[in-house]
Structure 1
Amino acid sequence: MSFPDPTETFRQEARELLEQLEQGLLDLEQNPANDDLINSTFRALHTIKGSGAMFGFTAVANFVHEFETAFDQVRKGQTVATPALIEVALDAKDHIHKLIEQPDTKLAGGDAILEALRAVIDGTNAPVEAAVAPAESAVIALDLDEPAVTETAAAAPSTWRIRFRLPSDALVYGTNPLLLLKEITDLGPCVVTALTDTIPNLETIDPEVPYLGWQIDLTMAEDPHAAIDDVFMFLRDGMELSIVPLTGAEPAAEPVAVAAPVVETAPTPVAAAPKPAKAAKAKPAPAPAAEAPSAPPVDAKAPAASSMRVDAERLDELMDRVGELVIAQARLTQIAASSSDGNLKTIAEELERLSSGLRDTTMGIRMVPIGTLFSRFRRLIHDLSRDLDKDIEFITTGEDTELDKTMIERLADPLVHLIRNSVDHGLESVEKRLAAGKTPKGTVRLSAVYAGAEVAISVSDDGAGLNAERIRAKAEENGIITPEQKLTDQELNHLIFAPGFSTAKEVTSLSGRGVGMDVVKRTIDGLRGSIDVTTKAGEGSTMTLRLPLTLAIIDGMLVRVGNGRFTIPLSAVEECVELPEGIDGKGRNFLDIRGALVPFLRLREVFNTTTPAEPHQKVVIVSSGEGRVGLVVDQIIGNNQTVIKQLSKLHSPIKSFSGATILGDGTVALILDTAHLVAHGQTYVDRNKSEGKAA
C-alpha cells in the first residue's frame, strides 16, 4: 500500500491557506477594522508557519514568522491595516507561495519584502501611538521582539493555573503536545506537571489517544487568556481548558501538588527556565473566587471530519467505471425487454435504479461551486486597478452555481482574458468617465446562473462598449473580412475572437498581441459551449459563456431520423408535439406554440436523409439560453442515460453534434448539439424580422 507524500499534502493544504490569506487581505482592505478578518488572516499565517516547520520548510517558517510578527501588531490594535500594508502583505503572500513550490531554489526578494513590511508598520505606528498616549495604562509596543511597555507602572507578576486536556483525536491529526507546552513556557516562568489520572491499563491503551492532561502554573504580569487562546486556537472547541488565578500563591519555583493519583511511571515535574513575558492583549481578569468554565467535552458520536481529500485522478477513474456500468445496464435492459423472463426484467429494473442513483452521486462528487473559481479573480482586479490606475468595483453573483470540476479547471484562463479585456479595453479612464457623466469608479460584474441544460457565465462592464466601426476597420485591415462583406451585429462582434485580432493601438503587458480572446474561443469550443456578445455604445459590454453542466453522463431522449438514431440532451427538451398536417416545408417554418412562434428544423433535411418520411412526424421543442427551436424527427424512441464520448478531431468541422454514445445493442448514436441547432433555427427568426421591416 502506497502512502501520499507528506510534503505534497502540506503543499495542497498550504495552497488553500494561501488562497484564504489572499481573500482575507483583500477583504481587509475594504473593511480594515473587522476583527474577524484580522484574526482569520493571522490564523492562516500561524498555521502555515507551524506546518512549514513540521514538514521541513524552514525558509517558509522563518519568513512567515517575520510576517506574522508584524501582522500581530494589527491584531493587537497597535497599527492599522492600511492599503499600503495590504499591498506589501500580498507581495509577501506571493513570496510564500514561491518558497513552498520551489523549496530547493534560492529566491531573492524576501528580505526586501520584510523590510518594506517593517517600514509600513513603523510608518503607521506613530499616529496610533499618539492616539492612545493619553489613555491610562495604554500598551505601546516599541519593538516587535521586545515586551510591551506601559505609561504607568507595570503590574506586579501574578500566578495563573492552567489545566488542559487535548481532544481525543488530536494525535491522529498531528498535534504535538510538546510544541504546545513550549509555546506556553515561552510566555513566562512556569511549572509544568503531567496529569496521569486517566491513563488506562497497558492492555487497553490506544496509542492514538492523548490520555495525559497537563497543569501549568504560569507567572506573568498580564492576563494570560488571550495568549493561551492563541496557543490552542485550532483545538479550543474540542478540548478541556481552565485558567484560574492563584491568589496569594507562591512564585512558581517549585512543583505544585496535583490532585491526581501518583503512579511509579509519572514524570517528574520540571520547572522551565524563566523567560521574559511576551505582550498579550489585555482582557478583564476573572473574579478571584470564580473558576473559568472549561470547554464542553467532544461528542463521541460526532463525525470526525466533514470532508476528505481525494485525488482528481481517482474521481475521473470512478466516473469512467460508472459510465461503463451505465452502458452495461442499458444492454441488460434491452435484453430484458425482449425476454419473457419476469425475474430478468425485475433485476434489470433494479439495476437501472441503482445505476441511476450511483450516476447522480458520482456526478454530485464532481460538481464544484463556481465561487471557488470566482474568488481567484479578486486579486486580478486588485492588481489591474493598481497597474492601470483605474478605480474598479468587482461584483460577483451566483457563486453557489455548480459546474463539473473539469470545466472549472479549464475555465480559469478564458475568464482571466475576458476580465482583463473588460478592464483594459472596456472601462475608460477616470477623466473620460467623468467627461461622459459616469461615476469615477468602473464596475466589472462576474455572474453565473443556470439556463436550462447549461450554465451561463457572464462578464460585464459599464465601460464604453465595443466600437463596431473600429472592429470592422481592423478586420478589413487584417484580411479577416472584405469591405463589401455584410455582417450582422452579432457576427461583427464575434470578430474579436479571431486569431491575431486586436484593436489595441500599442502592445502592452496586458494586451495588443491578439491572442487572449482567441484562447477564449478555442477553450469554450472545446467544452462544447458557446459565446454571446452584447454591447451598447457608451454603456458597456457583456460576454456570456454558455456551457453544458457536465462532460460525462447526461439523461438523453433517443429519437429516430430515417434509419439513424440520435440523442437529444433531455435537460434541453421543453416539450414534444406532433407536426400539424398540411405543412410541406415550403415557406416559413414556424409553429404556433401557445401563441408564440417557434421556428423548426427538419432533421431529415439537415442530415440529407433519403428514406421515406413517417406519416406522423414529431417535433421536439428544445431551448438554449433565450432561444427555442423545434426539431422534426420521425420517431421518439424514449429516454436513456447517455455516456458522452468525445468525437475525434476529424469530425470537429461538423457542428450539429457534440459527441456520441454507445447504445445497449452496441451501436453508436450521435448526440445533437442543441445550442448550435437553436442558433441555426434563430436565423429564420432574424430573416423573418428583416423581411417584415423591408415590407
Structure 2
Amino acid sequence: MSDAFAQAFKDEARELLADLEEALLEMEENPDDLGIVGRVFRTMHTIKGSGAMFGFDDVASFTHNVETVYDLVRNGELAVSKELVNLSLAARDCILDMLESAESGTPADLQRNDEVIRGFRALVPEQEDAEPKPGRQGPPEEQADPPAPTVTYRIRFRPEPEIFTSGGNPLTLLRELQELGPCNIVANTCEMRPLDALDPELCYMYWDVILSTSAGRNAIDDVFIFMADSCELSVAVIDDGTGVEPEAGYKKLGEILVERGDLTKQQMQHLLGKQKKFGELALEAGMVDAATITSALVEQQHVKEIRQERHAQTQTQEAASSIRVSADKLDLLVNLVGELVTVQARLSLVAQELKRHTELVSVAEEVERLTNDLRDNALDIRMLPIGATFSKFKRLVRDLSAELGKEIELTTEGADTELDKTVIEKLNDPLVHIIRNSIDHGVETPEQRLAKGKPRVGSLHLAAVHSGDSVLITIRDDGAGLNVDAIRAKAMERKIIPAGAELSDREIWQLIFAPGFSTAAKVTSVSGRGVGMDVVKQAIEGLRGSIDVKSEPDRGTSITLKIPLTLAIIESLLVQIGKDRFVMPLAMVDECILLTEKEIEQGHGRDILLVREKLVPYVPLRKMFRIEGKAPAIQQVVICQLEGKRVGLVVDWVIGEHQTVIKSLGRMYQQVEGMSGATILGDGSVALILDIPAIFKSAEEAP
C-alpha cells in the first residue's frame, strides 16, 4: 500500500471523525431527526469502506459493528438513547486511536475496543423477535417518512491499468456496491492480452454493474471517493423507482446497447431487419463481444425484477468541488509571498529614487498592485472558519459537566469567522483551559443554581467576531463570577501582590493569570494545581494577542481574547530610535503624540505623561535599549492598549505604517526580552519587531 494513499485515507478519516462527533452531539439533542441519523450512518459507512480499501482492516471490521446498529436506528427498529450516544462517542475515539496507532506503531487498546463492540451488540434486538422494538412515540404515520422508491443505476467502472501498483483493489469496491442493494456485476475481458503478452501488474478488465439501492447517488460516489482520479466512472439512472410492473416491459436489447455506446443507431437498424435474435446477430456481425451482450441482458432482466419491489429512502447530494492540499505546501506558498512582498517594497523604493524613469515607476506600481492581490489571496487560502474548533468543545463541555455533576448548555456564535490556520491551531489549548475553568470554577451545580433562583441548566457561550485586522473571541458563562476578595487574599498569601495593595477590580481579575495562582480548595483532575490560566496568557501573548476579563457576582464571567488574523504578514507601525528602526503591531496602537523636554521635566523624574487630563505611563526605549546618542528635542510617544490600560513607548521618530513580513529570530537571539521577531525593510536593512507586553513587564519589574 502506497504511503501517500494511506496518508490520504487517514487525513480524510480524521475529518470524517470530527464531523461524526458533531453529528452525534446533535443527534443527542434531536433524537427524532432521521436526517442526522442518516448522516452518522453514511459517515460510518464511508470510513468502513475506505478503511477496507486501503488496508485498514481493523478499522473496517470495528466500524462494521457500529454501522449495523445504525442501520436499525434509521429503519426505526432501534431508538436513539443516551447509551447509544455514549457508545458511539467511545467508538469514535477507538477509531481515532487505531489511526494514531497505525502512525506511531504502538498497539491500539484492543480491550477497550472489545468492550465497545459488546456494548453495541447488546443493543441489537434478537433475530427471532418478529416485533420491532419501539422507536419514537406517536401514531405510525408520525414515526417514519413514507417509503421512497428504489432507484436503479447503470455503472461502468473502468480502472486505470496501473491500479494495482498504486494499492487499489477493484474487488473491494465491487463488494462495497453489493452492500448497497440488489446488484448484478458483469466482468468484461475483451481487452485481455494473450498470456505471453500479459503484464501481471496491470488490470485489463472493466465492469458493468446494475445496482438498485435506496441509499442514493451519494452512497455510490462514496464507494469511489478515493478512486475518482484514477478510473473512468459513469453512473446513469436507468429506472427512477416510479416504473410499473415488469409486464410493461423494459428497453429492448438494441436500445440498451445504443444507450451504453456499445453500438450506433445505424448498426442497430441494420440488424433489426433480420429474423434472428438481436444478440445473436450482433455477435455474428462481430459488432460486440459476448460479455457486452451478457451485460445488456443482465440489465434488462435486473430492471424487470426490481420493479416488483419499491421501498426505502433515496438520498441525493451534490458533491462539493474541492482539492486537498498539504498544509506544508500552503505554508511554503505564504513564505514565498512574504519574500515577494519584501522584494516589491525594495522595487518601490528604487522606483521612488529614480522618479525620472516614469516607465520604471509605472511597472513598480503594477507589481505592487499584483503583489497585494497575491498576498491577500494566499493568506485567504490559509483562512479557516473557527466553527470547526468550536464544535470540538461540545464534547469537552458534555463530558466535563457530567464528570462534575453539572448541567451546562454550550452555545456558539460567529462560527463562520475565519482565522489563519496556524492561529487556530495555537488557539486550541488556551481555549480548552478557559472552558475547563469556566465549567469548574464558574458554573454552579444544579442545586446551587436553583437556590440562587437561576435556571437549573448553566450556560456557556462562545462567540467570535472580526474587529479590524483582529478577531475577538469571547468565552462567557452565567456562573458565580470571580470572587474579588478571595483572589486578593490568595494573591497576598502567595506574595503575588504586597499586603495592603490597593487594586481596582480589573487589576484583581488579571491576577488569575499569574503563575501558580489558584483559588481551588483541593486539587482535582480538572484544576487546583495553579497551571492553566498563566499558560493561557503566555500562549495569547505569543500570538501577539491580548486578554480582557469582566465579571459580575452571580451574573457570570466574560473573557475576551483579541487575536490577529494571521501570523505571517501584519500591518505595523515603523519607528526609529537613533539609526535603528523598529516595528510595532498596528493593532495595539491607539495614537501617537509629541513629547517635549518641558513635559519630561513636569514628570519630576517619573515616566508619566498627562494626556487629555489622564495620566499615561511610558517607557523611554532609547534608555531601555541603551542606544547611544542624544535624543531629539521633541520625541514621539506611541500610545498602546495593553490589558485595558493605555501605556506609551517613547521613540525618536514615527516613520509611518508598514506592511511587515514576520521573520523568526535565530536561536542565539530568541531569549532577548522585548523582541518577538524581525522583518526586512525595502532598503534591505533589518528592523526588529517589538514585543510590547514583554517590554512593559520588564519595565515594571525593573528596580
On whether the aligned pair clears a TM of 0.5, the verdict is: yes
- Which residue of the partner structure matches residue 50 of structure 1? 49
Provide, for residues 511-565 of structure 1, a one-character-per-residue CA deviation record: whole Å limited to 9, x for no partner.
2222222322222232222222222222222222222222221233323345443
Distance, in Å, in 2 between the alignment partners of 1:627 and 1:40 is 49
**1:434-453 alignment to 2 at 5 Å?**
434-453=450-469
Deviations 1:614-664 (A, max 9, x none): 677667666678766776765443443211234578878887654332222
Amino acid at match of 1:589: L
Asked if the contact 1:574–1:623 (Cα under 8 Å) also holds between the matched residues in 2, the reply is: yes
1:282 to 311, 332, 336: 311
Aligned 8 A contact 1:84 1:120 in 2 = no
SS at match of 2:77: coil
| Cα distance in 2, alignment partners of residues 447 and 189 from structure 1 | 48
Distance 2:184 2:472 in 1: 63
The answer to whether the aligner puts 1:664 opposite 2:663 as a matched pair is: no
Task: Determine if contact 2:463/2:475 at 8 Å carries over to the other structure.
Answer: yes
Please name the residue that 2:609 is paired with: 589
Corresponding letter in the other structure for 2:677: G
Q: Does 1:472 align with 2:492?
A: no
Q: Secondary structure at the match of 1:428?
A: coil
**Structure 2 CA distance for partners of 1:452 and 1:597, relative to 1, 3 Å:** farther
> How many residues get paired?
622
| Aligned with residue 409 of structure 1, among 425, 428, 432 | 425
Mapped to 2, the partners of 1:187 and 1:366 lie a distance apart of 37
Identical-residue share of aligned pairs (%): 42
| 356 and 210 in structure 1: CA distance in 2 versus 1, 3 angstrom threshold | farther
Partner of 2:245: 247
Cα distance in 2, alignment partners of residues 329 and 264 from structure 1: 64
TM-score (norm 2): 0.74
TM alignment of 1:151-162, pairs within 5 A: 162=152
Deviation, 1:381, is 0.6
Q: 1:563 to 1:249 in 2, by over 3 A?
A: same
Q: 2:96 corresponds to which letter in structure 1?
A: H
Q: Shift in Å at residue 400 of structure 1?
A: 2.0
Q: Which range moved further: 17-26 or 572-581?
A: 572-581
Pair 1:679–1:456, CA change in 2 (3 A): farther
Matches within 5 A, 1:10-409: 10-103=9-102, 105=107, 107-122=110-125, 128-129=133-134, 162-165=152-155, 182=175, 192=185, 214-215=209-210, 225-226=213-214, 232=220, 234=222, 239-243=235-239, 245=243, 247-248=245-246, 259-260=256-257, 261=263, 262=282, 263-267=287-291, 269=294, 282-283=311-312, 306-339=321-354, 340-409=356-425
> CA separation of 1:629/1:210 partners in 2, compared to 1, >3 Å: closer, same or farther?
farther
| 1:314, distance to aligned residue in structure 2 (A) | 2.2
Aligned to 1:204: none
| Compared CA separation, residues 436 and 647, structure 1 to 2 (3 A) | farther
For 2:551, the equivalent position in structure 1 comes to 535
> Separation in 2 of the partners of 1:284 and 1:421?
46
Residues 1:406 and 1:351: Cα distance change in structure 2 (over 3 Å): same
Once the two structures are TM-superposed, the CA of residue 566 in structure 1 deviates from its matched residue by 3.0
Instruction: Tell me what 1:146 maps to.
Output: none
Per the alignment, do residues 387 and 133 of structure 1 end up closer, same or farther by CA in structure 2, a change over 3 Å counting?
A: closer
**Secondary structure, counterpart of 1:33 in structure 2:** coil
Cα distance between partner residues in 2 of 1:524 and 1:344: 43
8 A contact 2:79–2:134 mirrored in 1: no
* Cα separation, 2, equivalents of 1:416 and 1:128: 40
* Partner Cα separation in structure 1 for residue 204 and residue 697 of structure 2: 63
Look up the equivalent residue of 2:659 and give its one-letter code: Q
SS in 1 for 2:111: coil
1:452, 1:625 within 8 Å by CA — same for their partners in 2? no
Aligned partners of 2:151 and 2:40: how far apart in 1?
30
Normalised TM-score (structure 1) = 0.75
Contact 2:482 2:557 in 1 (8 A): yes
Q: Is the 8 A contact 1:598 1:630 kept in 2?
A: no
Runs of 5+ in structure 1 lacking a partner? 140-158, 198-206, 217-223, 286-293, 299-303, 683-695
What does 1:673-688 correspond to in 2, within 5 Å?
A: 673=691
Cα distance change of structure 1 residues 169 and 422 upon mapping to structure 2, 3 Å threshold: farther
Evaluate the alpha carbon distance shift between residue 462 and residue 121 of structure 1 in structure 2; reply closer, same or farther with a 3 A threshold: farther
Q: 1:388 deviation in Å?
A: 1.2
Asked if the contact 1:532–1:543 (Cα under 8 Å) also holds between the matched residues in 2, the reply is: yes
Q: 1:342 to 1:368 in 2, by over 3 A?
A: same
Distance of 2:464 and 2:9 partners within structure 1: 32
Do 1:161 and 1:215's aligned partners in 2 also have CA atoms closer than 8 Å? no
- Cα deviation for residue 468 of structure 1 reads 2.6
Q: 1 or 2, which has the higher helix percentage?
A: 2
After superposition, the Cα gap between the structure-2 partners of 1:450 and 1:654, relative to the gap in structure 1 and judged at 3 Å, is farther
SS in 2 for 1:351: helix
Which has the larger displacement, 610-619 or 544-553?
A: 610-619
Superposed CA deviations along residues 578-632 of structure 1, whole A, max 9, x for unmatched, are 789986673673445xxx9795858677758786666776676666787667767
Secondary structure at the aligned position of 2:678 is classed as strand
Could you tell me whether the CA contact under 8 Å between 1:578 and 1:617 is conserved in 2? yes
- Between the aligned partners of 2:138 and 2:463, the Cα distance in structure 1 is 48
Compared with structure 1, are the counterparts of its residues 210 and 566 closer, same or farther at alpha carbon in structure 2 (3 Å cutoff)? Answer: farther
Greater Cα shift, 544-553 or 230-239: 230-239
Distance 1:476 1:357 in 2: 54
Partner of 1:144: none
1:56, CA displacement in angstroms?
0.9
Distance 2:431 2:406 in 1: 20
CA contact (8 A) 2:540 2:547 kept: yes
Aligned 8 A contact 1:166 1:210 in 2: no
Q: Deviations over 1:335-389 (max 9, x none)?
A: 3332343343333333322322222222212222211211111110111122112
Shift of 1:114: 2.0
Distance 2:70 2:447 in 1: 37
**Residues of 1 paired with 2:180 and 2:631: CA distance?**
89
Matched, 1:644 2:662: yes
Distance in 2 of aligned mates of 1:160 and 1:84: 33
Q: Does the CA-based 8 Å contact 1:456-1:544 persist in structure 2?
A: yes
Tell me whether 1:511 sits opposite 2:527 in the alignment.
yes
In 2, Cα distance between equivalents of 1:671 and 1:408: 22
Conserved? CA contact 2:413–2:462, under 8 Å? yes
Contact residue 165 and residue 214 of structure 1 kept, 8 A = yes
Aligned-pair RMSD on alpha carbons? 4.8
Aligned to 1:431: 447
Name the CA shift for 1:547/1:675 in 2 (closer, same or farther; >3 Å).
farther
Distance 2:22 2:564 in 1: 29
| 8 Å contact from structure 2 (residues 386, 418) kept in 1 | yes
Q: Which amino acid aligns with 1:109?
A: R
Q: Which amino acid aligns with 1:282?
A: H
CA contact (8 A) 1:92 1:113 kept: yes
